[in-house]
Structure 1
Amino acid sequence: MDKISNEEYLNVSHVSNGLPNGTPKPINLILNSSIFENVINLPNITKEYNMTVTSAKYSTLEFVNEPEVGKNFTVRIHARDGLNRSKTHGGDFWMAFLQFPSNHYYASTSAQVQDHQNGTYTVDFFIGWPSAVEVRITLVHPSRATKVLDLIMNLSYPPRMFWNGTFINQNNQTAHTLCYMAYRGPQFWKDKCQYVNRRALGDKTGLVCEKPPDGFGCDSMVKYSTAAHLIDGLFRVIGNACGCVWLFDKDHYMQKMKPEIIDMVQHLGSQYAILDNITKTLPPCNSHFQHGVGFWRANYWVSMVCQPKQGYKFGAKVGECLRNKDVYFLGDSTTRLWAFHLSTVLKAPMNKMDLTNHTFKFKQYFEHFNLNITFRFHPQVLGSKVVDLQNEIYEVDVIDDLQSIDCNFVVVISPWAHFAQWWKDAYVERLRLLRASVERLKARCPGAQVILKSPHVREHGDMYSQLRTSDYILFKLKEMMEDVFRDADVYYVNIWDLNNAFKGKKSVHMPPEVINQELSILLSYLCTDA
């Protein structure tokens, strides 16, 4: 396609699957915002400064100690720029991996990188196999790129999620208008249709739509679909306006340092006996807030935090553990995968199954275990599916409606995959309100079990998509989630490192061997006596 201007890019005539006729173009809404002044004023953003950006090629590794089975192996990263000069400040986003350097046996681990804010970074790996390790360090984003992403996350304007709202009036006539998430409060939403749930979103966040023509009320909206080309267009405008998109091209994104293979300290006797003795002394998985330290051994994730059970293969044990329970999975499609896989694990006939629209909701009943499994997708979905408003319900409202004498509730919450484009303060407020609903549930039902599932790494598109769904943004969502729920009465299933260390390609929908290991951690919290 020939190069076109920012305004032309947002003209729906350039998009084969554009919005229906009558949909307003949001060009003025986008271009008249304050984001461009803020982004353009970011210092040293143009490409003439690219040699001063952190370079994986010139950065170096220091091995603080020798790798030894059953102990931590510390690696220090010394960041340097494209002119081979030491960096004196932090902010780079690194990912760190160890793997067994052989094609005949697979073992790997990942660890989070500690930023010392002086150009050095430290990684502590747990060594879970003998012989040798291959150290792999990747510079996902240099600090200048993370500054851009932080800036975008912290701006409340302009809107950066768009939908096409469909209205049907009493005469069965149809109209379409532009809808978007707005963050600055009702005083900025005059003369627009407002769809606000203050218990779930607070006072400043809501879905806002341009008013439909005469003859249509705001309450006549029946469905919406994601205006993906407008979202893509907005972030192309942002990337071009700030002159910063080069920071996300192939030369600056996912820069890999040269792998290094290191032989380990060897011990007499079985190396795995050392690991077995360590894992046997681990506590059961009953602490509410634990980290995700562990390693992959073949197709199994070996936790070094607690003792997860691999009993997910045995349906009867899982069914007995969940007998008489009402299990709710509230979140996105990654949460839906958990619900579907759990149903498969049970290996029991379903007596009732409501799959009216299984993408957004379903309910299953297993009479043999008197077990209900329900999945509900959160509102404001971004994707290819048309969303019927009748299928929408906020997690807060589902949780507040849970009423039972027995209170045998299990609730899994995981709001992340569709929130990478949210304004930071709005996302944090949403998490706080979600936590408040969990606290109300625990006050009614002290025995209810609530599980919080973390985000994980995923696949990404072109360099413009990095501005809205980067793994750096997902990691920041994870940190916000941990900050809000840290002392809450919930079990935290941190699957970041488990997914990051997996040998296969990263995807928002990870393969069954990963989902099974995630479920084993979930069931280790729920089935302490199984």
Structure 2
Amino acid sequence: MWMSLSKYISIFLLLTLSGLFIINILVWKLDLCSLDLRRIHSEDPPPLDRERSFCSHLGKEPSPEEALEERYLLESIAWPETQPWLTSSPLTQTSDPAHSLFAILPAGGRREWHVGDQLEALVLMKDFQGRPKSHGGDFLLARLHSPELEAGVAGHVLDHRNGTYSAIFPLLWEGSVWVDVTLVHPSEAVPVLRRLREEHPDRVLYKSLFRSGILSETTMCNLRLPTNQQPLCNYTDPNTGEPWYCYKPKQLLSCDTRINHFRAGYQKDLITDKEALLFQSGVNLKARIHAMANDSVTVLPKKKEVESSSAKAAPIRTTASGYYFQGSWRGLGGVVIRQFKDTTAITQCLKDKMVYMYGDSTVRQYYEFLTSFLPELREFNLQSPVSTGPFMAVDIPHNILLKYRSHGPPISWTPISISQLRYVANELDGLAGGSKTVVVISIWAHFSTFPVQVYIRRLRHIRRAVVRLLDRAPETVVLVRSANLRAQSLQESLNFSDWFSVQLDEVLKAMFRGLNIFFVDAWEMTLAHHLPHDIHPHPPIIKNMINTILSHICPVKN
């Protein structure tokens, strides 16, 4: 009898343990965002492993078509895989721009270049001991320029995955041209950035103030928060499904007493002292690579065409969207970029127009430029904070309305009222649209610290709203501003590296391609210009962006 009883006890314990195991698995899945997920540094999670992606199960589940698009986008920006820089590895084995070199290759075996040709430079990466690198993955930028002509164009960098790279440039003007090649990050730094993005997407600290009467309390907020610390307030947007959470105040304050949203700082000490050596300004962070011999060539006039039925000139084929010449941006294909040199020309273009600007501070620059440049624009005092808005200005004699509003969280600014936290997609749905309506969108700078899936989800909601707007009002002019290069220091790189931005830039362009909208290619406009990179591009670059926008609003008539 004891043997039988022992048998039943064993079965009971087994069932109990199995039940607990299953419950733990369910709790793990439901509370995934409370975990500090870690992964092996040499492996990336599969693009559609939605259980491991950053809170990807929050909000609406993507449709099969959206899931396929997400896979395509993630694969299109996949960076060459490199072995992680081991703790035992010395810095001397990493990419060193001071030892690396580039050489301009002959054009078809001859050292003669004409307008319409391509110029190619071969880059050979070496380590600090002067030994050639055997793998790719370095983040390089390339620019071709002529200082005396105030001309410049962005180059296309091709990674051969063996330590060599090709920088390819279209030749678009005559005269002497110089090649610049810059190492933004060595390949060994990329896994560090990737790890930060996947393991510490909450490294920008967000908070909100809750207040009712004499009671007030500030709590942490983010796209995800550990649920095992205290109850959460759920501020997921009901229309877009965009998630946002704050810890519920411990005092007798309800979730409805939330007053504002603001950035409270950054997490620190997320990398080791040795890893910090990979982010040394002027050493291996945005450092120039020098030429093996000459770094310039002379571009001759375009070859004369041979007019015959059998020989026709091939068009210039380039990946560049435009270039600078005599300080002015010229587009390659599409709308001719006009030069709006005075207030009268800009005012006449904007006459009877309503211009709505949505996004971050890089589009706020356009509002600030126009309101400071056009004397008849009068700003309404909306009692808005200087950096956050919203802002509105009107020119009554010419019937011009100009409005700016920031995008919804995550946005890293000084305190902004909850009443002014609006998602771009919802704002677009509130527009009637039409031939007198202009929309300018810029949303990228505040998504650098999050996995790309978060950005894809946000852009998908905005794209749907743009499609709805153009369906009901096809004559609406919609312009989308891309990401731009910025200054890089150690701390700046860990949160807002150009490596993060270039991937967001490519995703944005891919997701809006094919729609009846226009791009302001801020990436190339900052790369091709001689002025230093800055999160807020310098006035001459902004002026060229304004010219680009106005040229699409008021195109040259045939």
Normalising by structure 2, what TM-score? 0.75
**For each residue in 1:27-76, what CA deviation from the matched residue of structure 2 results, as whole angstroms up to 9, or x when unmatched?**
xx9997234x6459973332624333223233332323244345321112
Distance 1:254 1:262, change over 3 A: closer
Q: Does 1:253 align with 2:293?
A: no
Is 1:227 matched with 2:271?
no
One-letter amino acid of the counterpart of residue 527, structure 2: N
Q: Is the 8 A contact 2:119 2:170 kept in 1?
A: yes
**Counterpart residue number, 2:398:** 369
Shift of the alpha carbon at 1:364? 1.5
1:94 aligns with 2:136: no
Identical-pair percentage: 24
Please give the secondary structure, in 2, of the residue aligned with 1:145.
helix
Match of 1:174 in 2: 216
Query: How far apart in 2 are the matches of 1:478 and 1:419?
Result: 11
1-side partners of 2:441 and 2:259: how far apart? 26
Partner residue in 2 for 1:33 = 36
Change in Cα spacing, 1:436 to 1:325, as seen in structure 2 (3 Å) is same
Greater Cα radius of gyration, structure 1 or 2: 2
Q: Distance in 1 between matches of 2:376 and 2:278?
A: 53
1:337 aligns with: 365
1:114-153 alignment runs, 5 A limit: 114-153=158-197
Q: In terms of mean alpha carbon deviation, does 349-358 or 37-46 score higher? A: 37-46
Match in the other structure for 2:86: 45
Amino acid at match of 1:77: V
Partner of 2:20: none
TM-score by length of 1: 0.79
Counterpart of 2:121, as a letter, is V
Give the gaps of 5 or more residues in structure 2.
1-31, 44-82, 305-312
Is the Cα contact below 8 Å between 1:97 and 1:137 reproduced in 2? yes
* Letter aligned with residue 334 of structure 1: T
Q: Which residue of 1 aligns with 2:153?
A: 109
Cα separation, partners in 2 of 1:143 and 1:31, compared to 1, 3 Å = farther
Aligned partner (choices 473, 493, 503) of residue 530 of structure 2: 503
Counterpart residue number, 2:57: none
In 2: Cα distance, 1:86 partner to 1:315 partner: 55
Secondary structure at the residue paired with 1:209? strand
Partner Cα separation in structure 1 for residue 399 and residue 495 of structure 2: 43
Give the aligned partner of residue 398 of structure 1.
Answer: 427
State the SS of the aligned residue for 2:260. Answer: strand
Q: 1:166 to 1:472 in 2, by over 3 A?
A: same
**C-alpha spacing 1:121/1:189, structure 2 compared with 1 (3 Å):** farther
Q: Which residue of 1 aligns with 2:552?
A: 525
8 Å Cα contact 2:84-2:191 kept in structure 1: no
| Separation (CA, whole Å) in 2 of partners of 1:356 and 1:292 | 42
CA RMSD of aligned residues (A): 3.3
Looking at structure 2, the residues matched to 454 and 371 of structure 1 have their Cα atoms a distance apart, in angstroms, of 25
Determine the structure 2 residue equivalent to 1:196: 236
- The alpha-carbon deviation at position 219 of structure 1 amounts to 1.1
CA-CA distance at 1:116 after TM superposition: 3.0
What amino acid sits opposite 2:403 in the alignment? T
**How many residues get paired?**
467
**Does the alignment pair 1:57 with 2:98?**
yes
DSSP 3-state at the match of 2:278 = helix
1:13 is matched with which residue? Answer: none
Tell me the amino acid that sits aligned with residue 476 of structure 2.
Answer: A
SS where residue 348 of structure 2 aligns?
helix
1:98–1:110 CA contact under 8 A, matched in 2: yes
1:387–1:143 distance in 2 versus 1, CA, 3 Å = same
Q: What is the aligned counterpart of 2:272 among 237, 240, 245? A: 240
SS of aligned partner of 1:165: strand
In the alignment, is the contact (CA less than 8 A) between 1:130 and 1:264 conserved in 2? no
Determine which of 485, 492, 495 is the counterpart of 1:465: 492
- CA deviation map 1:179-228 (0-9, x unaligned): 223289xx8898211211154454xxx22212112320011010132111
CA distance in 1, matches of 2:480, 2:229: 33
Q: Compared with structure 1, are the counterparts of its residues 118 and 292 closer, same or farther at alpha carbon in structure 2 (3 Å cutoff)? A: same
Match of 2:356 in 1: 328
Q: How big is the shift at 1:110?
A: 2.6
1:439 pairs with 2:467: yes
* SS of equivalent residue, structure 1 residue 257: strand
Paired residues for 1:283-362 under 5 Å: 292-306=320-334, 308-345=336-373, 347=374, 349-350=376-377, 353-357=380-384, 358-359=386-387, 360-362=389-391
How far off its partner does 1:523 sit?
1.6
Contact persistence 2:176–2:299 (CA under 8 A): no
Return the letter of the residue paired with 1:476.
Q
Indicate if the aligned counterparts of 1:154 and 1:425 stay in contact, CA closer than 8 A: no
Q: In structure 1, what is the Cα distance between the partners aligned to 2:335 and 2:457?
A: 34
Displacement of 1:354: 4.2
* Runs (5+) with no aligned partner, structure 1: 1-28, 275-280, 284-289
User: Shift of the alpha carbon at 1:479?
Assistant: 1.0
SS at match of 1:90: coil
Alpha-carbon distance change, 263 to 379 in structure 1, aligned in 2, over 3 angstroms:
closer
Report the CA distance between 1:132 and its aligned residue.
Answer: 2.4
Deviations 1:95-139 (A, max 9, x none): 112333x6x664333323122333332222233454423322111
Letter in 1 for 2:153: T
